[in-house]
Amino acid sequence: MPAERRIVVVTRQWPRFRHPAQVVVAGFATAIAIGTGLLMLPVARSGPGGAGALEALFTSTSAVCVTGLIVVDTPVYWSGFGQAVILGLIQVGGFGIMTFASLLVLLVSHRMGLKTRMTAAAETKTLGLGDVRTVVTGVVKVSLLLEAITALVLVLRFATAYDESWPRAVWLGVFHAVSAFNNAGFALRSDSLMGFVTDPWICLPIALAVIAGGLGFPVLFELRRRLRRPRGWSLHTKIVVWATGVFLLGGTVFITAVEWSNPATLGPLNTPGKLLAGFFQSVMPRTVGFNSVDISQMNPASWLGMDVLMFIGGASAGTAGGIKVTTFAVLAFVIYAEIRGEGAVNIFNRRLHGDLQRQALTVVLLSVAAVATSTMAFMVVTEYSLDQSLFEVISAFATVGLSTGITADLPSGLQLLLITLMFIGRLGPITIASALALRSRDRLYDLPEERPVIG
């Protein structure tokens, strides 16, 4: 009898994502790859041929990560199709990849599965799975509403004050409104917004849209419900609103004072123009790349002050970057409590959990490590000063997009480094670390306790 033959079918097991953070990271990477492919098409470039791979990758990453750093002149290098692709990438990146995917699922099937809710919750920082659907639809509604209001004001101003045709005014208004609310900073003028430095009807709507986007969606939702009842605000909203006000006021005073007599920035402007420009440039380090004065001509002290504002950034669960104002506030109160010798950390009559303190410390230390190592790489490879190198690195990591004018002249290796920083900055160091972890581990035992000497 012939031996029995067995047919073994080998099936390939595709890797499964063990953590929602891995899905978020993969989603952003996929969006960047698609955007890169679209921008490499010949139709996306205004000149002959298609864009180079590095130019397309850098621009796609900057748009999806709502940064605004550029290596080519957006209104000159890209065609109308290319600019439309950039606008789409900004909008999708501002929504959040998984938020956008969840919206598509809702539109098609009118329901969300558990996995979809988990990934959307990880991206939007939603505390519970039950309200993910409400959060996703709310994000879309708030985004489109505020973008529409900003666009309307800008369209009317472009058409009536700058003799733009109505189709051109609509395109300029919509593009800059979406770029502003999503904290992207892409502009359709080679000088960004320097031509409107004293025009409040251009600068103020854009600045207000930037502030709204930087507050984060949870804060916007709560302010809509309880705007006149600040005592009922959550701890997160109180921290974000107070910290935002302090940094905006402090940044305005500092930048205006330092640049007041600078002939290359605020010097030639009258007093109202100086105040408007100072306020505008205080808002922009909140992770937006618009500028109404020449950044490269600013005082190094202003650069350093803007470095601080960029590194701190805006609020969580929004379009802003940086370590976030809540992280900064938590560590500030931890230091305050330690100086006073208090055993617990209290903010606005609320006690902070120890996990939040460790998480804040982790975010800051990982962020400092990324900025420090990248700045050292700049100093080794290029001859740019520490001021310029640090400014460029923090701008990329905090997804700001402001530049001293050196981005396009950097070697390809450093441009790839900036791409990496933008990606890490948009998703957050903890999200990246969680995505890279093979699995989560629960320690089943505690080790003996011992105290090293601190300080």
24-46: per-residue pLDDT in tens? 778 889 999 999 999 999 999 99
Place of tokens 């605004």: 68
Is 325 a member of any domain? yes
Let me know: does 39 contact 446? Beta carbons within 8 Å.
Answer: no
2 or 37: whose pLDDT is higher?
Answer: 37
Is 15 a member of any domain? no
Mean pLDDT score of the chain? 84
| Residues with Cβ within 8 Å of residue 247, at least 6 apart in sequence | 282, 286, 309, 312, 325
Is 6 a member of any domain? no
Q: How many domains are contained in the chain? A: 1
**Lowest mean pLDDT segment, chosen from 161-170, 196-205, 355-364:** 355-364
pTM, whole model, 2 decimals? Answer: 0.86
Helix, strand or coil for residue 68? coil
Is 134 a member of any domain? yes
Is 311 a member of any domain? yes
The letter for the amino acid at 132 is V
* Domain containing residue 276: 20-436
Is 445 a member of any domain? no
In this structure, how many other beta carbons lie within 10 angstroms of the beta carbon of residue 293?
23
pLDDT value at 398 more than 70: yes
Q: How far apart are CA 334 and CA 26, in angstroms?
A: 34
Burial of 221 (0-12, 13-18, 19+ CB in 10 A): middle
Nearest to 393 by CA among 334, 310, 452, 337: 310
**What pLDDT was estimated at residue 106?**
43
Mean pLDDT, range 153-165, rounded to an integer: 95
**What pLDDT was estimated at residue 127?**
45
Q: How far apart are CA 427 and CA 321, in angstroms?
A: 9
Mean pLDDT, range 399-416, rounded to an integer: 94
Is 7 a member of any domain? no
Please give the structure tokens belonging to residue 270.
Answer: 């009258």
Helix (H) or strand (E) holding 273: helix 271-283
Is 453 a member of any domain? no
Q: How far apart are CA 286 and CA 308, in angstroms?
A: 10
**What pLDDT was estimated at residue 259?**
97
Helix, strand or coil for residue 350? strand
